[in-house]
């Protein structure tokens, strides 16, 4: 397995369980869509054509097509002129699916605010870099017409559109949905200070001049206004779970069963836990075996469960809970034909605060582990790219932000999967500024007289933004 494949597998966590044949085939079809770039509405071929092209049986090709349909990359059209028709995944649906994932894992207000700050500053800098025209900038002021929190969120959606980067919009849609969860029930959430309109006018001028630093400084002031409108509810935001009910659409019923099971797994499940046989689950949800099997396929796609054959087995909780969500986001980027070179640039900016958050939140054991891993990657003249990824993943884990972690894993996986010249080894000098940053933060934290978190974040952002411009990897 080469470095790109190892990075992809580690980022998506696909290596934790063996991939079934349908998933492997779905990935091959995604690769062909990425390379051939068929426009939406084009047919890739009938089931018979696809089975012959990929040398698989009709049952496997049907299951693989089902995976791609549920990810929004296409649909199966019956008839003599039908086949698998390529589609563009819908960003609103992707954003809501992402939000549901984070609701299920129990995201906190602190984690949301950290992610919101990083993503918002990233999009305003990318928007300035895109140098939008006057007509596009005019829509910014229209977006802030709403006199409540919706104006804040509409402004961020419009900025995401100005970036012209496909990866950005689902991130913003997801965070907007989660933001509304924490605004619900807050009587102050209807407040919308006049300073927002004033800041928007300043922001428009900075964007017109391509002044990313000025735009970021202006937008930073808006964070305080938004954050004051949010509060931690009595219970952490939970997934929206609807009761199952008989419906004329079996697929809708299957989705409701899947969401109910997913909620139970996320809140109470543990890896290896047996959820029951098909008969047990049919009885529990009062559904047919056909409907249950459709629900189980949805859960398999999400990476939550696997089916084990044999007595005493059945539906079992998987170790990985984010694989399916990453696959969904990857399918969106493939459908959008995202420029693979942008993935690394966005990745650096997305992680601009992670080194500071990791060092400030690390306990003694985690700080010792960071020191050990840092020493390992600093040694020598050449650095294994996979070793660097392991270090970055550990930094992300200690920083305790599942949102940035998942977004980052998706971008790293996309780059590893589609970058044609991904080097397996890198000169250590290319990462020197990142390593110096981590060493400086760790030394200051260990001395007991280190800088406060705001200054740590400022220093981390300076280094990471500079690296995003020079793209050392």
What pLDDT does 247 receive? 35
**pLDDT band (50, 70, 90) for residue 236:** very low
pLDDT tens per residue, range 58-67: 888 988 998 8
Q: Measured in whole angstroms, how far is the alpha carbon of residue 54 from the centre of its chain?
A: 30
**What's the rounded mean pLDDT across residues 303-312?**
65
Q: Is 70 exceeded by the pLDDT of residue 100?
A: yes
Q: Which residue has the higher pLDDT, 192 or 242?
A: 192
Instruction: Indicate the range of 93-107, 135-149, 351-365, 422-436 predicted with least confidence.
Output: 135-149
Residue 72 gets the label, from left (phi > 0), alpha (psi -120 to 50) or beta, of left
What pLDDT does 143 receive? 74
Q: Identify the DSSP state of 420.
A: T
What pLDDT does 147 receive? 61
**pLDDT band (50, 70, 90) for residue 190:** low
What pLDDT does 239 receive? 40
What pLDDT does 137 receive? 85
Contact 336, 416 (CB under 8 A): no
Q: How far apart, in Å, are the Cα atoms of 190 and each of 57, 113, 219, 300, 431?
A: 57, 19, 20, 40, 46
Instruction: Measure the CA–CA gap between 208 and 443, rounded to whole angstroms.
Output: 41
Contact 38, 439 (CB under 8 A): no
Q: Is 50 exceeded by the pLDDT of residue 316?
A: yes
Q: Is 90 exceeded by the pLDDT of residue 436?
A: yes
Contact 7, 389 (CB under 8 A): yes
Residue whose token pair is 């002021």: 141
Contact 304, 321 (CB under 8 A): yes
Q: Identify the DSSP state of 310.
A: S
Instruction: Measure the CA–CA gap between 202 and 241, rounded to whole angstroms.
Output: 42
Q: Taking all residues of the chain, what is their mean pLDDT, rounded to a whole number?
A: 83
What residues form DSSP beta bridges with 434?
none
What pLDDT does 359 receive? 94
Catalogue the long-range contacts made by 26-29 (C-beta closer than 8 Å, 24 or more residues apart). 26/64, 26/67, 26/68, 28/54, 29/54, 29/64, 29/68, 29/84
Q: Identify the DSSP state of 146.
A: S
Q: Which residue has the higher pLDDT, 445 or 26?
A: 26
pLDDT tens per residue, range 362-399: 999 999 999 999 998 888 888 888 888 889 999 999 99
- Other CB atoms within a 10 A radius of the CB of residue 33 amount to 21
Q: Is 80 exceeded by the pLDDT of residue 358?
A: yes
Q: Is 50 exceeded by the pLDDT of residue 240?
A: no
Pairing of strands 305-308, 382-384: unpaired
pTM: 0.83
Q: Is 90 exceeded by the pLDDT of residue 31?
A: yes
Catalogue the long-range contacts made by 425-429 (C-beta closer than 8 Å, 24 or more residues apart). 425/3, 425/382, 425/383, 425/384, 425/385, 426/382, 426/383, 426/385, 426/388, 426/472, 426/473, 427/381, 427/382, 427/383, 428/377, 428/378, 428/380, 428/381, 428/382, 428/383, 429/381
Q: Who's near 412: CB < 8 A, 6+ residues apart?
A: 7, 11, 343, 347, 389
Contact 16, 320 (CB under 8 A): yes
**What's the rounded mean pLDDT across residues 216-241?**
69
What pLDDT does 319 receive? 57
Instruction: Measure the CA–CA gap between 120 and 124, rounded to whole angstroms.
Output: 6
**pLDDT band (50, 70, 90) for residue 211:** very high
What pLDDT does 33 receive? 94
């Amino acid at each position: 397995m080469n470095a790109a494949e190892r990075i992809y597998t580690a980022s998506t966590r696909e290596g934790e369980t063996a991939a079934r044949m349908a998933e492997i085939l779905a990935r091959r079809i995604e690769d062909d869509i990425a390379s051939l770039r068929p426009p939406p509405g084009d047919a890739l071929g009938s089931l018979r054509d696809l089975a012959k092209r990929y040398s698989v049986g009709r049952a496997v090709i049907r299951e693989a097509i089902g995976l791609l349909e549920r990810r929004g990359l296409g649909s199966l059209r019956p008839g003599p002129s039908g086949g698998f028709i390529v589609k563009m995944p819908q960003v609103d649906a992707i954003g809501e699916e992402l939000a549901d994932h984070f609701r299920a894992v129990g995201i906190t207000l602190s984690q949301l605010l950290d992610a919101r700050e990083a993503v918002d500053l990233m999009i305003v800098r990318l928007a300035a870099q895109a140098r939008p025209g006057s007509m596009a900038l005019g829509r910014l002021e229209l977006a802030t017409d709403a006199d409540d929190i919706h104006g804040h969120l509409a402004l961020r959606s419009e900025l995401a559109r100005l970036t012209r980067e496909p990866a950005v919009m689902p991130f913003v849609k997801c965070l907007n949905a989660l933001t509304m969860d924490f605004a619900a029930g807050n009587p102050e959430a209807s407040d919308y200070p006049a300073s927002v309109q004033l800041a928007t006018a300043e922001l428009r001028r900075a964007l017109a001049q391509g002044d990313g630093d000025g735009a970021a400084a202006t937008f930073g002031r808006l964070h305080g206004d938004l954050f004051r409108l949010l509060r931690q509810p009595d219970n952490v935001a939970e997934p929206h779970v609807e009761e199952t009910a008989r419906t004329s659409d079996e697929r809708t019923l299957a989705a409701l069963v899947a969401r109910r099971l997913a909620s139970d797994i996320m809140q109470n499940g543990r890896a290896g836990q047996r959820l029951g046989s098909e008969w047990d689950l049919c009885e529990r949800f009062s559904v047919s075996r056909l409907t249950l099997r459709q629900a189980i396929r949805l859960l398999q796609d999400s990476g939550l469960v696997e089916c084990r054959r044999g007595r005493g087995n059945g539906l079992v909780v998987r170790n990985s809970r984010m694989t399916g969500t990453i696959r969904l986001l990857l399918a969106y980027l493939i459908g959008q034909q995202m420029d693979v070179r942008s993935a690394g640039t966005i990745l650096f900016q997305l992680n601009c605060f992670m080194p500071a958050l990791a060092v400030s939140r690390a306990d003694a054991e985690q700080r010792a582990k960071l020191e050990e891993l840092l020493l390992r990657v600093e040694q020598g003249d050449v650095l294994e790219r996979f070793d660097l990824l392991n270090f970055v993943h550990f930094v992300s884990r200690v920083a305790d932000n599942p949102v940035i972690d998942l977004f980052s894993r998706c971008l790293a996986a996309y780059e590893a999967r589609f970058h044609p010249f991904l080097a397996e080894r890198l000169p250590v000098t290319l990462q020197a500024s990142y390593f110096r940053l981590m060493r400086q933060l760790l030394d200051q934290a260990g001395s007991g007289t280190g800088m406060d978190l705001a200054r740590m974040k400022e220093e981390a952002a300076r280094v990471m933004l500079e690296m995003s411009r020079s793209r050392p990897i």
